[in-house]
Structure 1
Amino acid sequence: MNHTKLHHISLQEHYQFITFRTQESVDAYVQKILANDEKEHIKQFQIDNYLDSSKNGAYLYDEAIDVFIDVILQKDEHLYDVQIMAIMPNHIHILLKQNDDLGKIMQYIKGTSAVELNKLLHKSGKFWAEGYYDKLIRDEEHYVKVYNYIKNNPLKAGLKDERVFSKYE
């Protein structure tokens, strides 16, 4: 059974859970997961679990974390309202409320952070893997579940909690 790729759902004033990865983190194992016939959310969970221990494309440490947060804060409360985000070594999880089109938000976040991170790390070329995973938040229970997942993801992966940014904690 083949699942077709779903279109992104972009609804202003709604909450979105978004995940995206560094280009070099998408190795043969991740490609194999992406190609299987599982539902999209199951594939994303499998990939996230794998990437939590993978060193492939792991550039987001120390000053790179600060650079990414600075990029996010430049448009926070304009394009979006960030609720919480976790900056993992090779991928990002963000829970935000849209104030603009999701495509425009992601173009800003990935485009601007790629330029700044490549500059910092003396890299060139594609920094982020193509696309992103988004999940529209359905209700308060779903919001709390996603919020806690993001909050606990670095700790679950054996990382420190300075990788979590929230305006509310």
Structure 2
Amino acid sequence: MGTNLFHINQKNAVQFVTFRTYESVAYYLKKHNKEVIENKPKQQYELDQFLDVNRAGAVLNNEIISLLISLFKSKNGIYYHLFAVSIMPNHVHLLFQQLQPLSTIMQNLKGGSAFIINKYRADPKRLWEKSYYDKVIRSEKQFQMTYQYIKNNAYKANIKDASKRFYGMYESE
């Protein structure tokens, strides 16, 4: 499906990461007659826009939302310092400061979440697309824009349970 993307791996780097369900990416590639998704911001943005309104691979709903947010929060201080997460129906956005190598973080998050979700759904199918998109945040302005994007993503997509899909460290719980 995807290609091996170049990932910047730097301890203490602030990362914006997106990963998607396998079925959603497979549907996107088939519909757009593509073989791979390139790690270019414009193409990643277009893919996110497509997935925000498309139901392909949309398994991240209902109780799975709180399961994922709990899992991601439980890794805070061990793998990363978590700033924000948005659980969209077929993809996840994270904003964090790395404490471990990025590949270790992603392997832990995707593997752990796949185990929990597949157990909850009683469905051992492949859950996540192999690749993920990451972008190092280089300024306070970029951080604030990314945080707001993650915070408002479900609202902009008109998802009815948008308020349940976001966790941010700057929000009151």
CA distance in 2, matches of 1:45, 1:89: 16
The DSSP-based 3-state class of the residue aligned with 1:9 is coil
Q: Which residue of 2 aligns with 1:61?
A: 61
Counterpart residue type for residue 166 of structure 2: V
Q: Which residue of 2 aligns with 1:168?
A: 170
Q: Which residue of 1 aligns with 2:124?
A: 124
Offset of residue 65 of structure 1: 0.6
- Give 5+ residue unaligned stretches, structure 1: none
- Give 5+ residue unaligned stretches, structure 2: none
Per-residue deviation, residues 41-65 of structure 1 (Å, max 9, x unmatched):
0110000000001111111111101
Contact preservation (8 Å) 1:30, 1:47: no
Per-residue deviation, residues 123-144 of structure 1 (Å, max 9, x unmatched):
1131101110000001111111
Offset of residue 12 of structure 1: 1.0
Counterpart residue type for residue 7 of structure 1: F
CA RMSD of aligned residues (A): 2.0
Q: Structure 1 residues 6 and 143, CA, compared in 2 at 3 Å: closer, same or farther?
A: same
Query: Given the two structures, how large is their TM-score scaled by the length of structure 2?
Result: 0.89
Contact preservation (8 Å) 1:84, 1:94: yes
Q: How many residues align?
A: 166
Query: Given the two structures, how large is their TM-score scaled by the length of structure 1?
Result: 0.91
CA distance in 2, matches of 1:15, 1:72: 16
Offset of residue 166 of structure 1: 1.0
The DSSP-based 3-state class of the residue aligned with 2:53 is coil
Offset of residue 33 of structure 1: 7.6
